[in-house]
Copies of this chain bind each other. A is one copy, B any other.
Amino acid sequence: MPSTILQRLKAIVGEEHAYLPEEVDAASVKDHSLFADCPFEALVYPASPREIACIVDLCNQCQIPLTPRGGGTGVTGGALPVAGGILLSLRRLDRILHVDLSNRYAVVESGVITETFCTAIEAQGMYFPIYPGSKGSSFIGGNIAENAGSPRSCKYGTVKDFLLNLEVVLPTGEVIWTGANVYKDVTGLNLTQLFAGSEGVLGIITKAVLKIIPKPLKKRTLLAGFSDVRTACEAALSLSRGFIQPAAVELITRSAIDLTAPFVSANYPLLGPDVQAHVLLEWEEYTEAGLDLAVDESYKRLQAYDPVDVFSGISAGESDLLWSLRNRIGEAMTAQGCRYRDIDSCVPPANVFAYLESIDGIASRYGRRLICFGHAMDGNLHTMLLLPEGDSGVEALDLTSLLTDIYNAALSLGGTISGEHGIGCLQNEFLPLQLSATHLALMRRVKMAFDPRLILNPGKLLLT
Protein backbone atom coordinates (compact mmCIF):
# COMPACT_ATOMS: atom_id res chain seq x y z
CA MET A 1 0.00 0.00 0.00
CA PRO A 2 1.44 3.33 -0.96
CA SER A 3 2.12 5.53 2.07
CA THR A 4 -0.21 8.11 0.57
CA ILE A 5 -3.11 5.77 1.39
CA LEU A 6 -2.23 5.77 5.09
CA GLN A 7 -1.97 9.54 4.90
CA ARG A 8 -5.40 9.73 3.32
CA LEU A 9 -6.82 7.46 6.03
CA LYS A 10 -5.30 9.71 8.69
CA ALA A 11 -6.77 12.72 6.97
CA ILE A 12 -10.19 11.08 7.30
CA VAL A 13 -10.06 9.76 10.88
CA GLY A 14 -7.26 11.76 12.50
CA GLU A 15 -3.56 10.97 13.03
CA GLU A 16 -4.15 8.77 16.07
CA HIS A 17 -6.79 6.52 14.51
CA ALA A 18 -5.02 4.89 11.54
CA TYR A 19 -2.16 2.44 11.89
CA LEU A 20 0.21 0.27 9.95
CA PRO A 21 0.16 -3.44 10.89
CA GLU A 22 3.44 -3.21 12.77
CA GLU A 23 1.97 -0.53 15.03
CA VAL A 24 -0.94 -2.63 16.36
CA ASP A 25 -1.04 -5.53 18.81
CA ALA A 26 -2.08 -8.91 17.54
CA ALA A 27 -5.24 -9.11 19.66
CA SER A 28 -6.82 -6.17 17.86
CA VAL A 29 -6.76 -7.99 14.54
CA LYS A 30 -7.55 -11.60 15.54
CA ASP A 31 -10.85 -13.35 16.06
CA HIS A 32 -11.85 -16.62 17.76
CA SER A 33 -11.45 -18.79 14.68
CA LEU A 34 -8.50 -21.08 14.16
CA PHE A 35 -7.08 -18.99 11.35
CA ALA A 36 -3.56 -17.70 11.56
CA ASP A 37 -2.97 -13.96 11.30
CA CYS A 38 -3.85 -12.44 7.96
CA PRO A 39 -1.55 -9.84 6.47
CA PHE A 40 -3.24 -6.49 5.94
CA GLU A 41 -2.06 -3.00 5.15
CA ALA A 42 -3.75 -0.62 7.56
CA LEU A 43 -6.06 -0.67 10.56
CA VAL A 44 -8.40 2.27 10.87
CA TYR A 45 -10.77 3.39 13.63
CA PRO A 46 -13.39 5.73 12.19
CA ALA A 47 -15.82 7.49 14.52
CA SER A 48 -18.83 8.12 12.29
CA PRO A 49 -20.75 6.90 9.23
CA ARG A 50 -19.38 9.91 7.39
CA GLU A 51 -15.79 8.86 8.05
CA ILE A 52 -16.63 5.29 7.07
CA ALA A 53 -18.18 6.53 3.84
CA CYS A 54 -14.95 8.42 3.04
CA ILE A 55 -12.91 5.26 3.67
CA VAL A 56 -15.26 3.26 1.43
CA ASP A 57 -14.86 5.88 -1.29
CA LEU A 58 -11.09 5.62 -1.00
CA CYS A 59 -11.26 1.82 -1.27
CA ASN A 60 -13.46 2.07 -4.35
CA GLN A 61 -11.16 4.59 -6.02
CA CYS A 62 -8.04 2.52 -5.38
CA GLN A 63 -9.67 -0.95 -5.52
CA ILE A 64 -8.52 -1.77 -1.98
CA PRO A 65 -10.23 -4.63 -0.10
CA LEU A 66 -12.01 -3.42 3.04
CA THR A 67 -12.81 -5.70 5.99
CA PRO A 68 -15.15 -4.40 8.70
CA ARG A 69 -14.53 -5.67 12.20
CA GLY A 70 -16.66 -5.81 15.34
CA GLY A 71 -15.56 -7.29 18.65
CA GLY A 72 -13.56 -10.05 16.96
CA THR A 73 -15.43 -12.89 18.66
CA GLY A 74 -16.50 -14.69 15.50
CA VAL A 75 -15.42 -18.30 15.02
CA THR A 76 -15.64 -18.51 11.23
CA GLY A 77 -13.17 -15.75 10.32
CA GLY A 78 -15.75 -13.18 9.19
CA ALA A 79 -13.73 -10.27 10.60
CA LEU A 80 -10.33 -11.32 9.25
CA PRO A 81 -8.75 -9.40 6.35
CA VAL A 82 -8.14 -12.48 4.23
CA ALA A 83 -7.66 -10.42 1.08
CA GLY A 84 -5.37 -7.88 2.74
CA GLY A 85 -6.17 -4.21 2.35
CA ILE A 86 -7.75 -2.08 5.04
CA LEU A 87 -9.16 -3.42 8.29
CA LEU A 88 -11.88 -1.16 9.69
CA SER A 89 -12.79 -1.46 13.37
CA LEU A 90 -16.18 -0.22 14.54
CA ARG A 91 -14.82 0.19 18.09
CA ARG A 92 -15.29 3.96 18.27
CA LEU A 93 -18.98 3.79 17.34
CA ASP A 94 -19.81 2.89 20.91
CA ARG A 95 -22.69 5.10 21.98
CA ILE A 96 -26.13 4.06 23.15
CA LEU A 97 -27.96 6.94 21.54
CA HIS A 98 -31.49 6.59 22.81
CA VAL A 99 -33.59 4.21 24.87
CA ASP A 100 -37.26 4.80 24.07
CA LEU A 101 -39.30 3.25 26.87
CA SER A 102 -42.67 4.27 25.42
CA ASN A 103 -42.02 2.78 22.02
CA ARG A 104 -39.85 -0.03 23.36
CA TYR A 105 -36.82 0.34 21.15
CA ALA A 106 -33.23 1.45 21.56
CA VAL A 107 -30.97 3.20 19.07
CA VAL A 108 -27.36 2.14 19.37
CA GLU A 109 -24.16 2.51 17.41
CA SER A 110 -22.87 -0.77 16.06
CA GLY A 111 -19.66 -0.79 18.11
CA VAL A 112 -21.49 -0.98 21.45
CA ILE A 113 -20.49 -4.11 23.37
CA THR A 114 -23.52 -6.38 23.67
CA GLU A 115 -23.26 -6.74 27.44
CA THR A 116 -22.87 -2.99 27.91
CA PHE A 117 -26.11 -2.51 26.02
CA CYS A 118 -27.91 -5.25 27.97
CA THR A 119 -26.78 -3.81 31.31
CA ALA A 120 -27.77 -0.28 30.36
CA ILE A 121 -31.32 -1.17 29.40
CA GLU A 122 -31.79 -3.61 32.27
CA ALA A 123 -31.12 -0.68 34.60
CA GLN A 124 -34.22 0.85 33.02
CA GLY A 125 -36.32 -2.30 33.46
CA MET A 126 -35.97 -3.44 29.85
CA TYR A 127 -34.43 -6.53 28.28
CA PHE A 128 -32.65 -7.60 25.09
CA PRO A 129 -32.57 -11.39 25.39
CA ILE A 130 -30.34 -12.29 22.45
CA TYR A 131 -26.93 -12.18 24.04
CA PRO A 132 -24.46 -14.78 22.81
CA GLY A 133 -21.81 -16.37 25.02
CA SER A 134 -19.35 -13.75 23.79
CA LYS A 135 -21.51 -10.85 24.99
CA GLY A 136 -18.70 -9.43 27.12
CA SER A 137 -16.70 -8.48 24.03
CA SER A 138 -18.91 -8.95 20.95
CA PHE A 139 -20.40 -5.83 19.37
CA ILE A 140 -24.07 -5.34 18.62
CA GLY A 141 -23.20 -4.69 14.97
CA GLY A 142 -21.32 -7.98 14.76
CA ASN A 143 -24.22 -9.80 16.38
CA ILE A 144 -26.50 -8.38 13.68
CA ALA A 145 -24.08 -9.14 10.85
CA GLU A 146 -23.95 -12.75 12.11
CA ASN A 147 -27.64 -12.93 13.09
CA ALA A 148 -26.41 -14.21 16.44
CA GLY A 149 -28.28 -16.72 18.49
CA SER A 150 -28.24 -17.33 22.20
CA PRO A 151 -29.18 -20.08 24.66
CA ARG A 152 -32.39 -18.03 24.95
CA SER A 153 -33.21 -18.31 21.24
CA CYS A 154 -35.70 -21.11 21.80
CA LYS A 155 -37.98 -18.60 23.50
CA TYR A 156 -37.00 -15.30 21.93
CA GLY A 157 -35.57 -16.08 18.48
CA THR A 158 -32.36 -14.66 17.05
CA VAL A 159 -31.10 -11.11 16.58
CA LYS A 160 -33.12 -10.75 13.36
CA ASP A 161 -36.29 -10.95 15.44
CA PHE A 162 -35.29 -7.82 17.36
CA LEU A 163 -34.29 -5.61 14.41
CA LEU A 164 -36.43 -2.64 13.51
CA ASN A 165 -34.09 -0.50 11.43
CA LEU A 166 -30.43 -0.19 10.48
CA GLU A 167 -28.17 2.61 9.38
CA VAL A 168 -25.71 1.19 6.88
CA VAL A 169 -22.78 2.55 4.90
CA LEU A 170 -23.14 0.86 1.53
CA PRO A 171 -20.09 -0.46 -0.35
CA THR A 172 -20.73 2.36 -2.81
CA GLY A 173 -20.06 4.91 -0.06
CA GLU A 174 -23.63 6.07 0.47
CA VAL A 175 -25.48 5.89 3.77
CA ILE A 176 -29.07 4.64 4.10
CA TRP A 177 -31.51 3.69 6.81
CA THR A 178 -32.97 0.35 5.76
CA GLY A 179 -36.40 0.80 7.33
CA ALA A 180 -38.21 2.84 9.95
CA ASN A 181 -38.40 2.82 13.75
CA VAL A 182 -41.77 1.09 13.78
CA TYR A 183 -43.12 -2.39 14.41
CA LYS A 184 -44.70 -2.86 11.00
CA ASP A 185 -43.16 -1.61 7.79
CA VAL A 186 -43.70 -2.83 4.25
CA THR A 187 -42.46 0.26 2.44
CA GLY A 188 -39.89 -1.09 0.01
CA LEU A 189 -37.90 -4.32 0.00
CA ASN A 190 -37.05 -5.86 3.37
CA LEU A 191 -33.40 -4.77 3.36
CA THR A 192 -33.28 -4.65 7.17
CA GLN A 193 -33.70 -8.41 7.31
CA LEU A 194 -31.33 -8.98 4.38
CA PHE A 195 -28.57 -7.40 6.49
CA ALA A 196 -29.22 -9.85 9.34
CA GLY A 197 -26.57 -12.50 8.89
CA SER A 198 -25.00 -10.79 5.87
CA GLU A 199 -21.52 -11.07 7.46
CA GLY A 200 -20.39 -7.64 6.38
CA VAL A 201 -20.48 -8.36 2.65
CA LEU A 202 -23.38 -6.04 1.78
CA GLY A 203 -22.57 -2.97 3.85
CA ILE A 204 -21.17 -1.70 7.14
CA ILE A 205 -23.82 -1.43 9.84
CA THR A 206 -23.30 1.78 11.80
CA LYS A 207 -26.49 2.13 13.85
CA ALA A 208 -29.28 -0.25 14.84
CA VAL A 209 -32.76 0.26 16.18
CA LEU A 210 -33.49 -2.74 18.37
CA LYS A 211 -36.76 -3.87 19.86
CA ILE A 212 -36.56 -4.19 23.64
CA ILE A 213 -39.02 -5.89 25.97
CA PRO A 214 -39.82 -5.57 29.68
CA LYS A 215 -37.24 -7.35 31.78
CA PRO A 216 -38.51 -10.61 33.26
CA LEU A 217 -38.50 -10.37 37.03
CA LYS A 218 -38.64 -14.05 37.90
CA LYS A 219 -36.23 -16.76 36.88
CA ARG A 220 -35.79 -20.41 37.72
CA THR A 221 -33.21 -22.93 36.59
CA LEU A 222 -33.42 -26.69 36.55
CA LEU A 223 -30.96 -29.42 35.70
CA ALA A 224 -32.24 -32.89 34.84
CA GLY A 225 -29.94 -35.86 34.34
CA PHE A 226 -30.94 -38.72 32.05
CA SER A 227 -29.54 -42.19 31.72
CA ASP A 228 -29.19 -42.00 27.97
CA VAL A 229 -28.86 -39.31 25.32
CA ARG A 230 -31.89 -40.45 23.35
CA THR A 231 -34.17 -39.97 26.35
CA ALA A 232 -32.64 -36.58 27.10
CA CYS A 233 -33.31 -35.49 23.51
CA GLU A 234 -36.88 -36.75 23.70
CA ALA A 235 -37.44 -34.96 26.99
CA ALA A 236 -36.08 -31.70 25.55
CA LEU A 237 -38.28 -32.08 22.49
CA SER A 238 -41.36 -32.73 24.60
CA LEU A 239 -40.91 -29.31 26.22
CA SER A 240 -41.44 -27.65 22.87
CA ARG A 241 -44.92 -29.16 22.76
CA GLY A 242 -45.75 -27.29 25.95
CA PHE A 243 -47.67 -24.06 26.10
CA ILE A 244 -45.10 -22.05 27.98
CA GLN A 245 -41.65 -21.91 26.48
CA PRO A 246 -38.63 -22.19 28.73
CA ALA A 247 -36.10 -19.44 27.97
CA ALA A 248 -33.33 -22.01 27.59
CA VAL A 249 -33.23 -25.76 26.93
CA GLU A 250 -29.62 -26.90 26.71
CA LEU A 251 -28.37 -30.43 26.19
CA ILE A 252 -25.01 -31.48 27.64
CA THR A 253 -23.86 -34.94 26.69
CA ARG A 254 -21.52 -37.14 28.75
CA SER A 255 -18.48 -36.27 26.65
CA ALA A 256 -18.84 -32.61 27.60
CA ILE A 257 -19.69 -33.45 31.21
CA ASP A 258 -16.59 -35.58 31.68
CA LEU A 259 -14.34 -32.97 30.15
CA THR A 260 -15.76 -30.09 32.17
CA ALA A 261 -16.69 -31.62 35.51
CA PRO A 262 -13.17 -31.18 36.99
CA PHE A 263 -13.42 -27.47 36.24
CA VAL A 264 -16.63 -26.76 38.09
CA SER A 265 -17.21 -26.29 41.78
CA ALA A 266 -17.00 -29.41 43.93
CA ASN A 267 -20.58 -28.89 45.05
CA TYR A 268 -21.80 -29.07 41.49
CA PRO A 269 -24.83 -31.36 41.40
CA LEU A 270 -23.71 -34.86 42.07
CA LEU A 271 -22.94 -36.74 38.90
CA GLY A 272 -23.76 -40.40 39.16
CA PRO A 273 -22.32 -42.79 36.58
CA ASP A 274 -25.89 -43.22 35.36
CA VAL A 275 -26.14 -39.74 33.94
CA GLN A 276 -25.36 -39.80 30.23
CA ALA A 277 -26.81 -36.41 29.43
CA HIS A 278 -28.07 -33.31 31.18
CA VAL A 279 -30.92 -31.12 30.11
CA LEU A 280 -30.46 -27.64 31.55
CA LEU A 281 -33.59 -25.53 31.66
CA GLU A 282 -34.31 -21.96 32.51
CA TRP A 283 -37.56 -20.03 32.65
CA GLU A 284 -37.92 -16.27 32.61
CA GLU A 285 -41.30 -14.90 33.56
CA TYR A 286 -42.80 -11.74 35.00
CA THR A 287 -44.71 -13.02 38.00
CA GLU A 288 -44.20 -15.75 40.56
CA ALA A 289 -47.55 -17.22 39.53
CA GLY A 290 -46.56 -17.21 35.85
CA LEU A 291 -43.27 -18.84 36.74
CA ASP A 292 -44.99 -21.57 38.75
CA LEU A 293 -47.32 -22.32 35.83
CA ALA A 294 -44.38 -22.59 33.45
CA VAL A 295 -42.19 -24.73 35.68
CA ASP A 296 -45.05 -27.05 36.65
CA GLU A 297 -45.96 -27.68 33.04
CA SER A 298 -42.38 -28.43 32.00
CA TYR A 299 -41.69 -30.48 35.11
CA LYS A 300 -44.62 -32.78 34.34
CA ARG A 301 -43.31 -33.30 30.84
CA LEU A 302 -39.80 -34.06 32.07
CA GLN A 303 -41.06 -36.58 34.63
CA ALA A 304 -42.56 -38.64 31.82
CA TYR A 305 -38.98 -39.31 30.67
CA ASP A 306 -37.87 -40.61 34.04
CA PRO A 307 -34.89 -38.39 34.85
CA VAL A 308 -32.18 -39.87 37.08
CA ASP A 309 -31.73 -36.61 39.01
CA VAL A 310 -33.40 -33.22 39.04
CA PHE A 311 -31.82 -30.16 40.65
CA SER A 312 -33.67 -26.89 40.96
CA GLY A 313 -32.03 -23.46 41.19
CA ILE A 314 -34.02 -20.59 42.61
CA SER A 315 -31.45 -18.12 43.92
CA ALA A 316 -28.96 -16.48 41.57
CA GLY A 317 -26.17 -18.49 43.19
CA GLU A 318 -27.95 -21.79 42.64
CA SER A 319 -28.74 -20.83 39.07
CA ASP A 320 -25.11 -19.91 38.38
CA LEU A 321 -24.01 -23.23 39.84
CA LEU A 322 -26.35 -25.15 37.52
CA TRP A 323 -25.14 -23.15 34.51
CA SER A 324 -21.48 -23.48 35.43
CA LEU A 325 -20.89 -26.79 33.69
CA ARG A 326 -22.54 -25.57 30.49
CA ASN A 327 -20.70 -22.27 30.56
CA ARG A 328 -17.24 -23.66 31.23
CA ILE A 329 -17.01 -26.26 28.49
CA GLY A 330 -14.89 -24.08 26.23
CA GLU A 331 -12.63 -23.00 29.08
CA ALA A 332 -12.20 -26.62 30.23
CA MET A 333 -11.24 -27.67 26.72
CA THR A 334 -8.69 -24.89 26.38
CA ALA A 335 -7.25 -25.64 29.83
CA GLN A 336 -6.70 -29.23 28.77
CA GLY A 337 -4.91 -28.09 25.66
CA CYS A 338 -7.70 -29.21 23.33
CA ARG A 339 -7.94 -27.50 20.01
CA TYR A 340 -11.29 -27.89 18.39
CA ARG A 341 -13.46 -26.96 15.50
CA ASP A 342 -16.93 -25.86 16.62
CA ILE A 343 -19.52 -27.28 14.20
CA ASP A 344 -22.95 -25.71 14.65
CA SER A 345 -25.28 -27.39 12.21
CA CYS A 346 -28.95 -26.99 12.98
CA VAL A 347 -31.50 -29.75 12.36
CA PRO A 348 -35.24 -29.96 12.98
CA PRO A 349 -35.47 -30.50 16.76
CA ALA A 350 -37.01 -33.97 16.45
CA ASN A 351 -33.88 -35.07 14.58
CA VAL A 352 -31.32 -34.07 17.19
CA PHE A 353 -30.69 -37.59 18.45
CA ALA A 354 -30.48 -39.06 14.95
CA TYR A 355 -28.00 -36.33 14.09
CA LEU A 356 -25.87 -37.00 17.17
CA GLU A 357 -25.84 -40.72 16.48
CA SER A 358 -24.93 -40.17 12.87
CA ILE A 359 -22.05 -37.76 13.49
CA ASP A 360 -20.65 -39.84 16.33
CA GLY A 361 -20.41 -42.69 13.85
CA ILE A 362 -18.71 -40.45 11.30
CA ALA A 363 -16.19 -39.15 13.84
CA SER A 364 -15.38 -42.73 14.91
CA ARG A 365 -14.73 -43.76 11.33
CA TYR A 366 -12.18 -40.94 11.08
CA GLY A 367 -10.70 -41.77 14.49
CA ARG A 368 -11.80 -38.41 15.88
CA ARG A 369 -13.76 -37.39 18.95
CA LEU A 370 -16.73 -35.03 19.26
CA ILE A 371 -17.83 -33.09 22.33
CA CYS A 372 -21.56 -32.34 21.93
CA PHE A 373 -23.81 -29.88 23.73
CA GLY A 374 -26.01 -26.92 22.95
CA HIS A 375 -29.38 -25.55 22.07
CA ALA A 376 -31.44 -28.73 21.96
CA MET A 377 -34.89 -27.21 21.57
CA ASP A 378 -33.77 -25.28 18.48
CA GLY A 379 -32.00 -28.34 17.07
CA ASN A 380 -28.80 -26.30 17.09
CA LEU A 381 -25.97 -28.18 18.76
CA HIS A 382 -22.36 -27.22 19.20
CA THR A 383 -20.19 -30.12 18.20
CA MET A 384 -16.59 -29.64 19.14
CA LEU A 385 -14.40 -31.71 16.86
CA LEU A 386 -11.16 -32.29 18.75
CA LEU A 387 -8.07 -31.61 16.66
CA PRO A 388 -4.70 -33.28 17.13
CA GLU A 389 -1.90 -31.01 18.27
CA GLY A 390 -0.43 -28.97 15.47
CA ASP A 391 -3.54 -29.36 13.35
CA SER A 392 -4.86 -25.89 12.68
CA GLY A 393 -8.18 -27.35 11.64
CA VAL A 394 -8.18 -25.15 8.60
CA GLU A 395 -5.92 -26.90 6.13
CA ALA A 396 -6.04 -30.55 7.20
CA LEU A 397 -7.19 -32.57 4.25
CA ASP A 398 -9.09 -35.31 6.01
CA LEU A 399 -10.99 -32.61 7.88
CA THR A 400 -12.64 -31.51 4.65
CA SER A 401 -13.81 -35.01 4.05
CA LEU A 402 -14.98 -35.49 7.65
CA LEU A 403 -16.81 -32.14 7.72
CA THR A 404 -18.41 -32.94 4.39
CA ASP A 405 -19.78 -36.14 5.92
CA ILE A 406 -21.03 -34.32 9.01
CA TYR A 407 -22.72 -31.54 7.03
CA ASN A 408 -24.26 -34.08 4.69
CA ALA A 409 -25.62 -35.89 7.74
CA ALA A 410 -27.22 -32.65 8.95
CA LEU A 411 -28.57 -31.88 5.48
CA SER A 412 -30.02 -35.36 5.00
CA LEU A 413 -31.92 -34.82 8.27
CA GLY A 414 -33.43 -31.59 6.93
CA GLY A 415 -30.81 -29.37 8.55
CA THR A 416 -28.47 -26.57 7.62
CA ILE A 417 -24.68 -26.16 7.74
CA SER A 418 -24.64 -23.34 10.27
CA GLY A 419 -27.28 -22.32 12.79
CA GLU A 420 -25.51 -19.32 14.28
CA HIS A 421 -21.77 -19.12 13.54
CA GLY A 422 -22.08 -18.21 9.90
CA ILE A 423 -19.90 -19.11 6.96
CA GLY A 424 -17.12 -16.53 7.04
CA CYS A 425 -14.01 -17.77 5.29
CA LEU A 426 -14.01 -21.09 7.18
CA GLN A 427 -17.00 -22.78 5.57
CA ASN A 428 -17.29 -21.29 2.05
CA GLU A 429 -16.15 -24.51 0.48
CA PHE A 430 -19.08 -26.42 1.99
CA LEU A 431 -21.81 -24.08 0.69
CA PRO A 432 -22.41 -26.15 -2.47
CA LEU A 433 -23.40 -29.10 -0.26
CA GLN A 434 -26.50 -27.14 0.73
CA LEU A 435 -27.07 -24.38 -1.82
CA SER A 436 -27.53 -25.06 -5.53
CA ALA A 437 -25.39 -23.40 -8.18
CA THR A 438 -28.46 -21.28 -9.01
CA HIS A 439 -28.76 -20.17 -5.39
CA LEU A 440 -25.07 -19.33 -5.14
CA ALA A 441 -25.14 -17.40 -8.42
CA LEU A 442 -28.16 -15.43 -7.18
CA MET A 443 -26.37 -14.55 -3.94
CA ARG A 444 -23.39 -13.33 -5.95
CA ARG A 445 -25.67 -11.14 -8.09
CA VAL A 446 -27.21 -9.68 -4.92
CA LYS A 447 -23.68 -9.01 -3.65
CA MET A 448 -22.88 -7.23 -6.94
CA ALA A 449 -26.03 -5.11 -6.58
CA PHE A 450 -24.64 -3.79 -3.31
CA ASP A 451 -20.93 -3.89 -4.05
CA PRO A 452 -20.21 -3.63 -7.78
CA ARG A 453 -16.44 -3.41 -7.27
CA LEU A 454 -16.39 -6.26 -4.74
CA ILE A 455 -14.34 -4.29 -2.24
CA LEU A 456 -16.25 -5.16 0.94
CA ASN A 457 -15.21 -8.16 3.03
CA PRO A 458 -14.02 -10.27 0.10
CA GLY A 459 -13.68 -14.01 0.61
CA LYS A 460 -16.55 -14.24 3.11
CA LEU A 461 -19.94 -15.97 3.02
CA LEU A 462 -20.03 -16.19 -0.76
CA LEU A 463 -18.00 -18.37 -3.03
CA THR A 464 -16.05 -15.38 -4.40
Contact = CB atoms under 8 A, between A and B. Distances in A.
Interface of A: 100-105, 146-147, 149, 153-154, 157-158, 160-161, 170, 172, 174-177, 179-191, 193-194, 196-198, 202, 214, 216-217, 237, 240-244, 286-287, 289-290, 293, 346-351, 375, 378-380, 414-423, 431, 434-436, 438-440, 442-443, 445-450, 461
Given A180-B434, A193-B194, A423 B346 contact: no
Given A147-B190, A243-B290, A446-B450, 16 more contacts: A103-B349, A153-B184, A160-B190, A176-B438, A182-B347, A182-B378, A186-B420, A187-B416, A187-B435, A188-B431, A189-B446, A190-B193, A190-B197, A214-B241, A217-B243, A289-B289
B187 A418 contact: yes
11 contacts: A102-B241, A102-B348, A153-B184, A182-B415, A182-B416, A185-B419, A188-B435, A191-B443, A191-B446, A244-B290, A290-B290
Contacts of A196: 190, 193
A189 B461 contact: yes
Contacts of A348: 100, 102-103, 105, 181-182
Contacts of A445: 449-450
A348 B375 CA distance: 34
B147 A186 contact: yes
A350 B102 CA distance: 6
A445 B170 CA distance: 13
A187 B431 contact: yes
Nearest to A292: B289
Given A186-B421, A188-B423, A193-B194, A180 B103 contact: no
Contacts of A293: 287, 289-290
A438 B378 contact: no
Contacts of A431: 187-188
A353 to B, nearest CB: 12
B439 A183 contact: no
A186 B414 contact: no
A345 to B, nearest CB: 9
Nearest to A125: B241
Contact of A378 (B158, B184, B242, B378): B184
A346 B103 CA distance: 12
B449 A416 contact: no
Nearest to A214: B243
A186 B378 CA distance: 13
A149 B184 contact: yes
B182 A442 contact: no
A184 B442 contact: no
A216 to B, nearest CB: 8
A185 to B, nearest CB: 4
Given A214-B242, A449-B446, A103 B350 contact: yes
Contact of A240 (B104, B153, B415, B443): B104
A448 B446 CA distance: 9
A185 B346 CA distance: 7
Name the residue in A188, A290, A435 with the highest tally of chain B Cβ atoms < 10 Å from its Cβ.
Answer: A188
A91 B194 CA distance: 29
Contacts of A417: 187
